[in-house]
Amino acid sequence: MNEGDVPAAGTGVHTGKRLLLVHAHPDDETITTGGTIARYVAEGAEVTVVTCTLGEQGEVIGDEWAQLVAEAADQLGGYRIMELSSALAALGGPGHRFLGGAGRWRDSGMAGTPAAEHPRAFVRGAEGDAVGQLAAVIAGMRPHVVITYGPDGGYGHPDHIRAHTVTTAAVEQARARWDTPKLYWTVAEDEAVAGGLADLGPVPDAWSIPEAGELPAVPASTVTAEVDISEYLDAKRAALAAHATQVRVADGGRAYALSNGIAQPVVAREFFVLARGAAGPTGRAGRETDLLAGLGAG
């Protein structure tokens, strides 16, 4: 284990089903897959989250921690480790590690910004190094399911795109030691986004309400799996609230916003596209409803 890693699930003897999620920054794990994490932890699966950077370039909400940002004290990454730990505890305590050890790669910020030119930026690092680190995690943990972003990173962030390419290559590189049965991309479904926006409830006056098409989402016809997280919405909301420098949750918990103040719905399902492997049993709309169904525990 690299110095700075949180002890991870996925060591020793493997007896149950295992799920590995690869995310770019702290808070991504909760925003896109928090309910899925909470559900599978509660159901007894061995769940591990890998985070690729500390999120140093995040835009802080409010004044209390505003001086931690990269342009001031540049201490936000360390603070976000604490937020991430609290969020994961709210989700039931999955295993966790930072790719290559905490601080190995830095948040790259958006394309074209000075942050992207930092020598430790995730997008500037040798991709093969990151792939090798993650392949070692996969070989050690032997996950039945790996989850990351699609080719566009969900909304175009360079670190999300790099997480996609690194994860895809690491799954392939690890095949000689462990052939991962299924790889999924986490996505937002356009119909769910539209429905959630129509049922937001009260939000702060300073927030803006977008049109459904303004939020990143994929057509419902492209979604191959959905996970019902209705029993775990409170856990997801608590985890969102734990990322307080980055996220605000509206009263009633039906909406959240990032620093841009754009309201986004908290919906009762999380959505995926199967990118590698064979689909398991299907349910509603011909989609898988259990990412681990039909997979052995070996």
Over residues 194-213, the mean pLDDT reads: 95
pLDDT in tens, 119-136: 999 999 999 999 999 999
Those residues whose C-beta lies under 8 Å from the C-beta of residue 260, and which sit 6 or more positions away, are: 59
146: which strand partners?
20, 183
pLDDT in tens, 85-97: 999 999 999 999 9
Which 8-state DSSP code applies to residue 150?
A: -
- Domain coverage including residue 102: 18-188+217-234+269-276
Is residue 249 assigned to a domain? no
Is residue 200 assigned to a domain? no
Check residue 297 and give its pLDDT: 67
Those residues whose C-beta lies under 8 Å from the C-beta of residue 123, and which sit 6 or more positions away, are: 108, 116, 158, 159, 162
Check residue 15 and give its pLDDT: 57
46: which strand partners?
18
Is residue 27 assigned to a domain? yes
Are the CB atoms for 160 and 199 separated by under 8 Å?
Answer: no
Over residues 95-124, the mean pLDDT reads: 95
pLDDT in tens, 63-91: 999 999 999 999 999 999 999 999 999 99
E strand intervals along 133-276: 145-148, 182-187, 225-228, 248-249, 255-257, 264-265, 269-276
CATH, residue 132:
3.40.50.10320
Is residue 167 assigned to a domain? yes
Number of domains into which the chain is organized: 1
Q: In the structure, what pLDDT confidence band is assigned to residue 214 with cuts at 50, 70 and 90?
A: very high
Is residue 86 assigned to a domain? yes
Is residue 262 assigned to a domain? no
Is residue 254 assigned to a domain? no
Is residue 11 assigned to a domain? no
